[in-house]
Amino acid sequence: MQLTASTLTAVPVVTAAESDPEASALPILPYLPELIFGLVAFGILYWVVAKFVVPNLEKAYAERTAAIEGGMQQAEKAQQEAEAALREYKAQLADARDEAARIREEAKEQGASIIAEMRQQAQAEANRITETATKQIEAERQQAMVSLRSDVGRLSTDLASRIVGESLDDQARQSGIVDRFLAELEAGNVRAEVVGSEPAGSEGQGH
Amino acid sequence: MSPTAAMLLPMAEGESHFPPDPSLFWQPLVKFGSIELFGSEMTLAITRPMVVMALTVGLLSWWLIATTRKAAVVPSKGQAGTEAVYNFVRNGIARDMIGSRDFLPFVPFLFTMFVLILFNNWMGIIPPVQMPTMGRIGFPIALTLLVYIVYHWIGVRKHGFVGYFQFMLPSGLPGWIKPAILVLEMLTFFVTRPLTLALRLFGNMFAGHLLLVVFIIGGWELFLQGGLLSIVSLPAWIMAFAMTVFEALVQFLQAYVFVLLAASYIGGALVDEH
């Protein structure tokens, strides 16, 4: 019962002051010292509030507003950046797809051209081999012809010498009768049916 | 009255203090004699309400400075508490009543007014003080005087001296009724407003304190009677407790109403036209 006790402690004070004119004055008449004291008290507290409290609080408010606005701007900026990054990424992706398609296309073309080229090369190689073979055959034929010519010549002269009975070997060779005969034969000047008489004739001319 | 009761309740001349009368509010602590003022005698004294007022100013100054000295964007607990009260006055009263354009210069005035009245009112129920300062009419008059000066001063500053009186008249009135309305408006501006502002606060605190004293002292007196009457003191004290809680609400409400009306008068004087 502190409530009761503390109210009661005031009672003796009241009792002691009962002789003052203020004790019996109308309660709506101000006691002047209290009025003045009230003005002074308000003045002091007002000075404290206006000088220290309100400026600090308003400063904190302004900073808070700035911080919130700053945060919102920052968030907006981040959002924009993210959107820009997404756009860029999408663009890059599209580019990459195009690039891939292009590369595939190129590869296809390249593959086709490589095959064609290879085919061509193979063809060329085949041709070359064929040609070489032909040339070789030709050369061998020439060679065979030359050796055959000399063989035929020798055999002919041998035969002729045997027939004629004298050795025409050296003489014949020296005079080039055989060669000339063969050349004529090649050139088609000597007919096949006169082969049997011509050599005799030519030999006869030669002699 | 039994001897035990006389011991418990030190009543000087053995007389009863029930029912309490207005002299209860005259509590000089230190007297310096008396002087003659305007033909009547006045005691020079430091009274208990003065000490309470000084105490509240000191405590409020200390608390407000301590919690806002390092006011930060992210508030500490103390700062958050002070800010809640400050926000209430700044946004809930000043900005709403005066308008967001001009309210800021009046925030320190209204905030000081609110915390000072609220704390002094609550001193009426906070032990061991239990003295509602505003139950002494000198204090409400002092505060009302300040509000009175402020709203007339800014009214005259905004509209000019003659313009201020023209401003009191609502526009679009027929010429013949203007003088009567001007008298009524002047009565409102110069008499009714300050009178009601001061008396409302004073009356509530004065009556509230008397009511509490009635239940508490009354309960005590009943208790001392002995027998069946002693038992009746229990509901009296329960009632005293309930009234104390009720008083806390009234005391807050009166501080709020006083500052709200002050802001409304200031806002009214700053309005461009009717």
Task: Please name the amino acid found at residue B177.
Answer: I
Are A46 and B112 inside 8 Å of each other by CB? yes
Average pLDDT over residues A27-48: 91
> Is residue A200 in some structural domain?
yes
d(CA B57, CA A48): 10
Q: Does residue B58 contact residue B71 with C-beta atoms inside 8 Å?
A: no
User: Which of B25, B143, B220 comes nearest A4 by C-beta?
Assistant: B220
Return the half-sphere exposure (C-beta side, CA atoms, 13 A cut-off) of residue A127.
Answer: 6
Q: Alpha helices of chain A — where are they, by DSSP H?
A: 2-9, 11-16, 21-24, 32-48, 54-164, 169-175, 177-187, 198-206
> Is residue A171 in some structural domain?
yes
> Is residue A152 in some structural domain?
yes
Rg of chain B (C-alpha set)? 23
Are A53 and B68 inside 8 Å of each other by CB? yes
Q: CB distance from A62 to chain B under 8 Å?
A: no
What pLDDT does A203 receive?
A: 45
Are B138 and A33 inside 8 Å of each other by CB? yes
Q: Does residue A202 contact residue A185 with C-beta atoms inside 8 Å?
A: no
Q: Does residue B59 contact residue B123 with C-beta atoms inside 8 Å?
A: no
Q: Which residue of A has its CA nearest to B75?
A: A60
Looking at the structure of chain B, the number of domains it has is: 1
What pLDDT does B148 receive?
A: 95
Q: Could you tell me which of B196, B207, B208, B274 has the C-alpha nearest to residue B246?
A: B208
What pLDDT does A149 receive?
A: 81
Residues of B in contact with A57 (CB under 8 A): 68, 71, 82-83, 86
**Tens digit of each residue's pLDDT (9 = 90 or more) over B180-227:** 888 998 899 999 999 999 999 999 999 999 999 889 888 888 888 888
Q: Does residue A17 contact residue B26 with C-beta atoms inside 8 Å?
A: yes
> Is residue A2 in some structural domain?
no
CA distance B178 to chain A (A): 34
CA distance A35 to chain B (A): 4
* Tokens 């020079």 sit on residue: B44
* Tokens 């809640």 sit on residue: B84
> Is residue A33 in some structural domain?
no
d(CA A178, CA A154): 9
d(CA B171, CA B178): 10
**Tens digit of each residue's pLDDT (9 = 90 or more) over A133-147:** 999 899 988 888 888
d(CA B1, CA B15): 10
Q: Which domain holds residue A159?
A: 138-206
In this model, does residue A65 exceed pLDDT 80?
yes
What pLDDT does A27 receive?
A: 83
d(CA B140, CA B146): 10
In this model, does residue A57 exceed pLDDT 50?
yes
Q: CB distance from A146 to chain B under 8 Å?
A: no
Which residues in chain B show pLDDT less than 50? 1-15
Kindly state the helix (H) or strand (E) to which residue B241 belongs, with its residue range.
helix B228-270
Four-residue CA torsion sign, B101, B102, B106, B108? positive
In this model, does residue A207 exceed pLDDT 60?
no
What are the residues facing B40 on neighbouring strands? B37
What pLDDT does A177 receive?
A: 73
Across A40-49, A140-149, A156-165, least confident range: A156-165
Q: CB distance from A20 to chain B under 8 Å?
A: yes
d(CA B59, CA A137): 130
Question: Which of B44, B64, B199, B258 to mutate to test binding with chain A, by most A CBs within 10 Å of its CB?
Answer: B64
d(CA B168, CA A62): 37
Q: What number of C-beta contacts closer than 8 Å exist between A and B?
A: 194
More confident: A2 or A46: A46
What pLDDT does A156 receive?
A: 80
What are the residues facing B42 on neighbouring strands? B35
Q: Which domain holds residue B238?
A: 3-270
Task: Please name the amino acid found at residue A46.
Answer: Y
d(CA B30, CA B267): 42
CA distance A74 to chain B (A): 18
Residues of A in contact with B247 (CB under 8 A): none
What pLDDT does B26 receive?
A: 86
Residues of A in contact with B44 (CB under 8 A): 33
Question: Which of A26, A34, A47 to mutate to test binding with chain B, by most B CBs within 10 Å of its CB?
Answer: A34
Measured CA to CA in angstroms, residue B205 lies from A3, A46, B51, B120 at distances of: 17, 23, 17, 10
d(CA A130, CA A201): 44
* Coil, strand or helix at B256: helix
Looking at the structure of chain A, the number of domains it has is: 1
* Tokens 């109308």 sit on residue: A26
Are B73 and A64 inside 8 Å of each other by CB? yes
Q: Given pLDDT bands bounded at 50, 70 and 90, which one contains residue A4? A: very low
d(CA B214, CA B231): 17
pTM (global) more than 0.80: no
DSSP line for B33-53: EEEEETTEEEEEEEEHHHHHH
What pLDDT does A113 receive?
A: 92
Q: CB distance from A49 to chain B under 8 Å?
A: yes
Q: Does residue B258 contact residue B197 with C-beta atoms inside 8 Å?
A: yes
Residues of A in contact with B17 (CB under 8 A): 11, 14
